[in-house]
Amino acid sequence: MTSIEQQPALATTKRKFHKLLDNLTASNSTTSLASTLQESNASTASLSALSEPDSPEHPNKRPRSANLSMERQRGISEGQERIRQLKEQLMTPRREKTIKVVGKTVVTPKASTPRKAPNFQPYSQEHFLERLKTFADVRKWTTKPDAINEVEWAKRGWSCDIWNTVACKGGCENRVAVKLRPKRKDANGKDLEMSEDLAFDIDNALIERYKDLIVEGHSDDCLWRKRGCQEDIYHIPIASRTKSSAELLDRYRFLKAIATDLPLLEHITYPDPPIQQILARIPSSFFTSTGTQPPLSPSDTVAFVFALFGWTGVSESRISLAVCNHCFQRLGLWLSSATRLTEMSKKLDVPIESLRLNLLESHREHCPWKNADVQANEKDSPIANMPAWQTLQFMLLGRHKDIAAPSGSGMQTPSKQTPRKSHQQHARNNDSVDIGSELEYPRGSFDSVERPKDVDEDEDGGLREKWSKLKAKLKRSASKKSLKSMKSGKSVKSGKSVATKAGDKEKEKS
- In sequence order, the 6+-apart residues with CB closer than 8 A to the CB of 123 are 229, 230, 233
Specify if 19 maps to a domain. yes
Q: What's the pLDDT score for residue 8?
A: 56
Specify if 13 maps to a domain. yes
Question: What is the reported pTM?
Answer: 0.58
Identify whether residues 222 and 247 lie together within a single domain. no
Average pLDDT over residues 421-430: 35
Specify if 440 maps to a domain. no
Identify whether residues 202 and 296 lie together within a single domain. no
Identify whether residues 333 and 371 lie together within a single domain. yes
Q: Which domain holds residue 87?
A: 2-94
Specify if 187 maps to a domain. yes
Question: Looking at 94, 117, 133, which one is the last position of a domain?
Answer: 94
What are the angstrom distances between the C-alpha of 262 and each of 162, 306, 343, 370, 424?
33, 9, 17, 21, 48
Specify if 356 maps to a domain. yes
Identify whether residues 217 and 262 lie together within a single domain. no
Q: How are beta strands 268-269 and 357-358 bridged, if at all?
A: parallel
Identify whether residues 342 and 222 lie together within a single domain. no
Specify if 71 maps to a domain. yes
Average pLDDT over residues 218-229: 94
Higher pLDDT, 239 or 106: 239
Q: Tell me, what amino acid is at 251?
A: R
pLDDT tens per residue, range 86-100: 777 766 655 545 555
Identify whether residues 245 and 380 lie together within a single domain. yes
Identify whether residues 268 and 338 lie together within a single domain. yes
Question: Looking at 201, 226, 251, which one is the last position of a domain?
Answer: 226
- pLDDT at 55 exceeding the cut of 60: no
Q: What are phi and psi of 368, to 5 degrees?
A: -65, -20
- For residues 383 and 393, the answer to whether their CB atoms sit within 8 Å is no
- pLDDT at 335 exceeding the cut of 90: yes
Q: What is the mean pLDDT of the chain?
A: 74
pLDDT tens per residue, range 72-85: 666 677 778 878 87
Q: What's the pLDDT score for residue 454?
A: 45
Specify if 101 maps to a domain. no
Q: How far apart are the C-alpha atoms of 170 and 465, rounded to whole Å?
A: 77
Average pLDDT over residues 212-224: 95
Identify whether residues 142 and 220 lie together within a single domain. yes
Identify whether residues 193 and 298 lie together within a single domain. no
- Number of structural domains (the chain) is 4
pLDDT tens per residue, range 444-502: 333 333 444 444 444 445 666 766 777 676 666 555 544 454 455 544 444 444 445 55
> Which of 179-188, 326-335, 418-427 tops mean pLDDT?
326-335
> Which of 18-32, 53-67, 311-325 tops mean pLDDT?
311-325
pLDDT tens per residue, range 128-156: 999 999 999 988 999 999 999 999 999 99
Identify whether residues 221 and 264 lie together within a single domain. no
- pLDDT at 278 exceeding the cut of 90: yes
- pLDDT at 339 exceeding the cut of 50: yes
Identify whether residues 215 and 261 lie together within a single domain. no
- pLDDT at 325 exceeding the cut of 90: yes
Identify whether residues 345 and 292 lie together within a single domain. yes
Specify if 323 maps to a domain. yes
- pLDDT at 127 exceeding the cut of 50: yes
Q: Identify the helix (H) or strand (E) that includes residue 207.
A: helix 204-216
- pLDDT at 298 exceeding the cut of 90: yes
